[in-house]
Amino acid sequence: MRNLRDRLGRELLILDGAMGTMLQSRGLALGELPERMNLTAPAVVREVHAAYLAAGADILETNTFGANRLKYGNDLASVVSSGVRAAREAIADSGRDAYVAASIGPLGKLLKPMGDLPFEGAYSLFREIAACALNAGADALLFETFTDLYELKAALLAAKDACALPVIATMTFDETGRLLTGADVVAAATVAESLGADAVGFNCGLGPKQLLEFLPALVGTVSVPIAVNPNAGLPVIVNGRAEFHVSPEEFAPDSKKLAEGGASLLGGCCGTTPEHIRALKNALQGFRPSYPVKKRRTIATSYAQFAEFGRAPVLIGERINPTGKPDLKRALRENDMGYILREGARQADAGADALDVNVGLPGIDERELLPRAVEELQSVLPTPLMIDTANAEAMERAARLYNGRPILNSVNGKQSSMDAIFPIARRYGALVVALTLDEDGIPATAEGRVKIAEKILAGAETYGLGREDLIFDALAMSVSTGGGALAALGALDEIRHRIGANTSLGISNVSFGLPARGKLNAAFFAAALARGLSAGIINPLDRELMDAVHCHNVLTGLDADCSKYVARFADAAKAEPAAPAAQMPLREAVVRGLQDAARAAAGREMSAGRAPMALIEEELVPALNEVGEGFEKKTVFLPQLLMSADAAKAAFEVVRAKIAAAGAERLSRGRIVIATVRGDIHDIGKNIVRALLENYGYTVTDLGRDVAPEMVVEATLREGAPLVGLSALMTTTVESMEETIRLLKLSTPAKIMVGGAVLTEDYARKIGADFYARDAMAAVRIAGGVFS
């Protein structure tokens, strides 16, 4: 029989229909795992396969959808091999030719950071399944019903590492055309193809009619063959159970439209039967698909959003980069991820389409910090990220952990750079920024830079990457050293228009060393956009740059009805900044939870010469106490307490900046380590406690969520913290809280306070805690006692 890979996309191939419902009707009991039947009742499984073969299926999907180590332990290999065998035997009995695709579904666990399964754990589980399928003699792997792009990434990486079998990846979208985790068809399909899926498509969730609506987006995105396995319509709930009522006679013509629309692998999912497959086969008799054309789109994605280069200018926020930013340097040294998250959120809110992430700083291990920063940003923001580092190992780790299709920043024309970076881009399906410099430095002329771009493109092709995977940066240089910026502009123009690749520039470099940088940057940005620049690496908080791009978009018809232009400029004119709040005293501003007023009041007090300590002791702390007491008496709500905390924090920052400027030590009432215990991934309660403790002047080391007992002990010893706060929200995780307390008591003198929904005073004592904090104010009071 011919190799399946050679037939994909060139012939119409029929997949089979539902397995689970067929097994249920043949005796699968409620609560029994369906794949177990491969071992206990292989004849029944074989019979289902035989029915689909007789109906005309060219590819059988094995009864292994839920087979993984979490469910089957050491039986996994035999469940998979008996599943493949059942299909093979059915094929042999039928006398027909057909392929066996090993069906592989999601693991039923959510990946970190949203869930508790580490990415590498998911990778290993999938790798094991893929290896079992290979050993069992499957012809292909069929990943199906994926609703989480991150899990599909783990699965595809594992499949490619485990075997050379063709991989078909189908995902389940909801009626709005999104995966459960938020990606739309374009973003999800981009990631699946970039990670090497041999065919991409839809299954389950919807019927053929609904999937037909989403097909054009898929066809317009990927250059690999397309697979669609619809349900027999939308589910109809009958007596609390989902039933599917689209008949074979309706199913087949709709499926034919899917084939005409570009799908070349067609079958069915829930509710489909051999009759549906037979009708499908008959309707598609003699149909010849045309092989997908190469799309050459340049798309970066997160888990939810995408940014496409070569259409409207892509704005890449440059602010997460410690160069010239003392506050960010401090935050990185102190492991303060909150700072990075706020910086990311501000840029996204200001209109950044992607964010550059650079955490390179002497004395910092980028291999640890860069993946962590990427993960933290991705747990909060849906903006695609650009991984910016000179450290290839850090880049690879971050690219691997990244949820989506990242941009790597950067490769250049040096052979050593290409040899280090292109394999990472290839393996993780990334886009790469390519700097037009090489062993001989940066050419002074446009021609020189274009030559390097051509060299880089040739190098990329040897690694299986194309021009659509590259974004050439023609290098904006400071014009203060003479020579102007025409080399960069000329080079980007030629790269864009002759080579046909996308381009980027770090805009603000151009004005380095000159006054009125904003004006020069904006003029340069406008000029570069006019020459065809695809992406600016910019500060999106810079109004002049953002004005420039809005003007460009109107002038080039990208904002054809001028709606964005009008929204920006007409509304901005209306929304004049409100008159500064009357001079509200600091204490009142904090009590009322007004950040701006509190910041202003603190500034006034400091300029008037008030001592920082006096301001804290006489204004801030009494204000916080007033609100805290109100909270305890239930006259103030939690959000109000937290608004006051934010206002106090804003005031503290003014005071701290003053102290730092005077070169004095930071004030601290004492060190406290806090964490949510292992196995527990709640953190809002813990974050609230941290915010209030910091407000009261404590230095808090926040270890995050799902923290191993050993980590808590290690941090407590390292910080010399006399007080540790532990949080657990679940009865099941109170066990790891108890374990953490036991270890802490063995090796540190620290006092321990605990909190969380399931705890009570008695329960807290029983597991060995020194204090029970029923809420955040209680934690403040406990700290007050310990440090008094």
The torsion angles phi and psi of 365, rounded to 5 degrees, stand at -85, 100
Give the binding range for other proteins (CB under 8 A) out of 82-90, 420-428, 577-585, 637-645. 637-645
Q: Give the residue, chosen from 592, 610, 656, 745, that forms a contact with other proteins under the rule CB under 8 A.
A: 592
Note whether 104 binds other proteins by CB under 8 A: no
Q: Which stretch binds other proteins (CB under 8 A): 191-199, 363-371, 376-384, 476-484?
A: 376-384
Closest to other proteins by CB, 261 vs 630, is: 630
- Within 8 A by CB and 6+ apart from 44, the residues are 23, 26, 27, 37
Binds other proteins by CB under 8 A, chosen from 108, 220, 253, 484: 108
- Name which of 684, 721, 715 is nearest 699 in CA terms: 721
Which range of residues in 180-188, 243-251, 467-475, 512-520 is near other proteins by CB under 8 A?
A: 180-188
- Judged by CB under 8 A, does residue 687 bind other proteins? yes
Q: Which of residues 201-230 bind other proteins (CB under 8 A)?
A: 204
Q: How far apart are CA 9 and CA 194, in angstroms?
A: 18
Using CA atoms, how far apart are residues 500 and 453, in angstroms rounded to an integer?
Answer: 11
Determine contact, residues 234/211, Cβ cutoff 8 Å.
no
Asked if 234 interacts with other proteins (CB under 8 A), we say: no
Minimum Å distance from CB 225 to other proteins? 26
Determine which residue in the list 411, 688, 715, 773 makes contact with other proteins, applying CB under 8 A: 688
- Single out the residue of 654, 691, 754, 783 in contact with other proteins (rule: CB under 8 A): 691
Size of the site for other proteins (CB under 8 A): 65
Taking CA atoms, 5 is separated from 9, 216, 393, 670, 693, in Å, by 9, 23, 34, 65, 60
Return d(Cα 650, Cα 602) in angstroms, integer. 9
Smallest gap from residue 196 Cβ to other proteins (A): 25
User: Per CB under 8 A, which region of 158-166, 240-248, 274-282, 450-458 contacts other proteins?
Assistant: 240-248
Of 282, 323, 480, 731, which one interacts with other proteins (CB under 8 A)?
Answer: 731
Tokens of 10: 């060139």
Question: What is d(CA 270, CA 281) in angstroms, rounded to the nearest whole number?
Answer: 18
What does the alpha-carbon distance between residue 515 and residue 331 come to, in Å, rounded to a whole number?
Answer: 29
CA dihedral 390, 395, 398, 399 (to 10 degrees): 140
Nearer of residues 341 and 717 to other proteins, judged by Cβ:
341
Pick 240 or 286: Cβ nearer other proteins: 240
User: Parallel, antiparallel, or unpaired: how do β-strands 671-676 and 13-14 relate?
Assistant: unpaired
Candidates 145, 272, 403, 539: give the one binding other proteins (CB under 8 A): 145
Which of 42, 121, 177, 182: binder of other proteins (CB under 8 A)? 182
**Residue 408 vs 624, nearer CB to other proteins:** 624
Judged by CB under 8 A, the stretch of 79-87, 252-260, 712-720, 724-732 that binds other proteins is 724-732
> Which residues lie below 8 Å from residue 452, measured CB to CB, with a gap of 6+?
412, 413, 436, 437, 438, 443
**Counting contacts by CB under 8 A, is residue 768 touching other proteins?**
no
Nearer to other proteins among residue 287 and residue 637 (C-beta): 637
Closer to other proteins by Cβ: residue 12 or 232? 232
Alpha-carbon distance 371 to 379, whole Å?
Answer: 12
DSSP at 619: I
Q: Which region, judged by CB under 8 A, interacts with other proteins, from 237-245, 435-443, 496-504, 572-580?
A: 237-245
User: Using CB under 8 A, which of 555, 562, 638, 664 touches other proteins?
Assistant: 638
Nearest CA among 475, 507, 502 for reference residue 488: 475
Q: Which of 680, 716, 726, 751 binds other proteins (CB under 8 A)?
A: 680
Tell which one of 338, 351, 423, 490 touches other proteins (CB under 8 A): 338
Query: In whole angstroms, how far apart are CA 240 and each of 29, 235, 236, 384?
Result: 17, 11, 9, 40
Stretch that binds other proteins, among 108-116, 186-194, 223-231, 492-500 (CB under 8 A): 108-116
**Binding residue (CB under 8 A) for other proteins from 593, 628, 697, 756:** 593
Residue in 2, 95, 241, 579 binding other proteins, rule: CB under 8 A: 241
Mask 487-526, x = binds other proteins (CB under 8 A)?
----------------------------------------
DSSP string, 632-677: HTTSS-HHHHHHHHHHHHHHHHHHHHHHHHTTPPPP-S-EEEEEEB
Strands 723-727, 751-755: pairing is: parallel
CB closer to other proteins out of 634 and 666: 634
Strands 241-244 and 235-238: antiparallel
> What letter would DSSP give residue 294?
P
User: What does DSSP assign to residue 504?
Assistant: E
Q: Which is nearer to other proteins, 128 or 646 (CB)?
A: 646
Applying CB under 8 A, among 180, 312, 499, 523 the residue interacting with other proteins is: 180
* Residue 545 in tokens: 């740059």
Residue 758 makes contact with other proteins by CB under 8 A: yes
Minimal distance, residue 378 CB to other proteins, in Å = 10
Identified binder of other proteins from the candidate list 2, 92, 164, 240, rule CB under 8 A:
240
- What b/e string do you get for 410-432 counting C-beta neighbours within 10 Å, with b at 16 or more? bbbbbeebbebbbebbbbbbbbb
Instruction: Name the phi and psi angles at 536, rounded to 5.
Output: -105, 130
- Residue nearer to other proteins on the CB measure, 378 or 508: 378
Amino acid at 221: T
In order of 171, 425, 462, the CA distances from 418 in angstroms are 34, 10, 10
**Alpha helix (H) residue ranges in 95-207:** 119-136, 149-162, 185-194
Print the SS3 string covering 165-178.
Answer: CCEEEEECCCCCCE
Read off the tokens for 390.
């000179």
**Would you state the torsion angle of the CA atoms of residues 622, 624, 626, 627, taken in this order, to the nearest 10 degrees?**
170
For the CB of residue 555, give the shortest distance to other proteins in the complex, in Å. Answer: 33
For residues 616-635, which are near other proteins according to CB under 8 A? 634-635
Contact status: 639 vs other proteins (CB under 8 A): yes
Q: Least distance from C-beta 623 to other proteins, angstroms?
A: 16
Q: Which stretch binds other proteins (CB under 8 A): 41-49, 78-86, 105-113, 513-521?
A: 105-113
- When the beta carbons of 148 and 494 are compared against other proteins, the nearer one is 148
Sole window of 542-550, 561-569, 683-691, 779-787 interacting with other proteins (rule: CB under 8 A): 683-691
Residue 730 interacts with other proteins (CB under 8 A): yes or no = yes
Q: Does 732 bind other proteins (CB under 8 A)?
A: yes
With CA atoms as reference, report the closest residue to 491 among 449, 457, 543.
449
The owner of tokens 């010239």 is 324
In the complex, least distance from residue 44 CB atom to other proteins, rounded to whole angstroms: 19
d(Cα 143, Cα 689) in Å, to the nearest integer? 43
Sign of the dihedral defined by the CA atoms of residues 662, 663, 664, 670, in that order:
positive
Residue 316 tokens read as 């890449």
| 519-558 footprint of other proteins as x/- string (CB under 8 A) | ----------------------------------------
Of residues 205 and 322, the one with the C-beta less far from other proteins: 205
Window 28-57: residues binding other proteins (CB under 8 A): 29-32
181 binds other proteins (CB under 8 A): yes
> Interface residues with other proteins (CB under 8 A)?
29-32, 106, 108-110, 113-116, 145, 147-148, 176, 180-182, 204, 237, 239-242, 337-338, 341-342, 345, 376, 379-382, 592-593, 634-640, 642-643, 645-646, 679-684, 687-688, 691, 729-733, 758, 760, 774
